[in-house]
Amino acid sequence: MSTPRCSCIYCKKECSAKGIHTHIDRAHLKLSKYSSGYNGRYNEIKVRAQERHNQALEEYLKKPKTCVECKAPLSYSKRKNSVCSRSCGATMSNRNRYATGWTATVEHRAKVSERLTGKPYIPPMEVTQTCRCGATFTTVAVRGKTKKHCSGSCAARYSEARGKLQEKARKKRAALTNYRADCAFRFSLNDYPSEFEFGLVEEYGWYKAKNRGDNLNGISRDHIVSVRYGFDNNIDPAIISHPANCRLVQHGENSSKGSQCGMTVDQLLEKIEKWNQRYK
């Protein structure tokens, strides 16, 4: 059975019998009573819904639900959850697994790893590495990748990126400035407690510049064969920076000696040889 149709008395447009009055009211009489639906009760319904939400929120905040892991109160939007975050969820899940004696097998780890990465699984293994500083250390190889340095300080010192930056900086500096940097002492005095006069430090304290403590008569580390002498005579910086070439003196004496040396290079080389035999 077809729907009856009528013509508009204004524009003669044909509409269904049910829609002709809506057409006339909206198109010709410019009435908007149909635009909000429910005969204009949408706003009323919205206000009531907001009031119910505010009432429920107020009741919830009086006694909020807490996270089962960290005991933090859950927000109203997470009131149906057991935990407050993914981190707490993972912690709870892992604890429950270990409590029941569950441990991930190699097959399980391989299955998960290959599904996530799309690459064959390589189980971790302990390997022995030699750092560029000469130290030997044990680390764990993950997917065939291992640590290249024994510590963070060595990683910073020998990293490729740092090396490139240092190389750019060295090109901009004078040769003597670069040589002084290469001859800087990089060892800890505490590693050789019997080789240095720490009583001077107890008496005068360490040297500190004016803007860093103002102890200008304090003790500093001095090169026995001076850096300037090493630069003028083209001596390897590894010799000048060796612990055997170090002594503790007051900073005033250190800065005023210039290129003077406390021993000859031959004497220093002999001292270095004995030092290396003693401390290997």
β-bridge partners, 137: 129
CA distance 246 to 200: 14
Residues 182 and 153 in one domain: no
3-state secondary structure of 98: helix
Residues 220 and 239 in one domain: yes
**What is the b/e burial string over 24-52, where b = at least 16 CB atoms within 10 angstroms of the residue's CB?**
beeeeeeeeeeeeeeeeeeeeeeeeeeee
Look-up: residue for tokens 């800890």? Answer: 188
Which of 8-17, 66-75, 148-157 is least confident?
A: 148-157
pLDDT of 223 reads 92
pLDDT band at 245 (very low <50, low <70, confident <90, very high): very high
Residue of 179, 189, 130 whose CA lies nearest to 154: 130
> Are 18 and 89 members of one domain?
no
DSSP 120: -
Residues 9 and 31 in one domain: yes
Closest CA to 222 of 203, 197, 250: 250
177 shares its domain with 210: yes
**Contact (Cβ atoms closer than 8 angstroms) between residue 126 and residue 138:** yes
pLDDT digit string (tens) for 106-126?
788 788 888 888 888 877 788
In a domain, 214, yes or no: yes
Report CA dihedral (132, 134, 135, 136) to the nearest 10 degrees: 90
pLDDT per residue as tens digits for the range 121-148: 877 788 888 887 778 888 888 777 788 8
Q: What are 191-244's pLDDT values in tens digits?
A: 888 888 888 888 888 888 888 788 888 888 999 999 999 999 999 999 999 999
* DSSP symbol at 2: P
Q: Taking the alpha carbons of 122, 123, 125, 131 in that order, is the dihedral positive or negative?
A: positive
With respect to residue 45, please indicate whether it lies within any of the assigned structural domains.
Answer: no
Between 35 and 220, whose confidence is greater?
Answer: 220
The radius of gyration computed from the CA coordinates of the chain, to the nearest angstrom, equals: 40
Question: In this structure, is residue 200 part of a structural domain?
Answer: yes
Residue 241 near residue 179, CB atoms below 8 Å? no
Going through the chain in order, the beta strands assigned E by DSSP cover: 5-7, 14-16, 125-130, 136-141, 219-223, 246-250
What is the distance between the alpha carbons of residues 190 and 181, in angstroms, rounded to a whole number? 22
- Based on the fold, state whether residues 145 and 156 are members of the same structural domain: yes
Full residue range of the structural domain in which residue 94 is found: 56-99
179, 84: one domain: no
Number of domains the chain is built from: 4
Q: Mean pLDDT, to the nearest integer, of 40-56? A: 79
Same domain as 181, residue 163: no
Q: Do the domain assignments include residue 71? A: yes
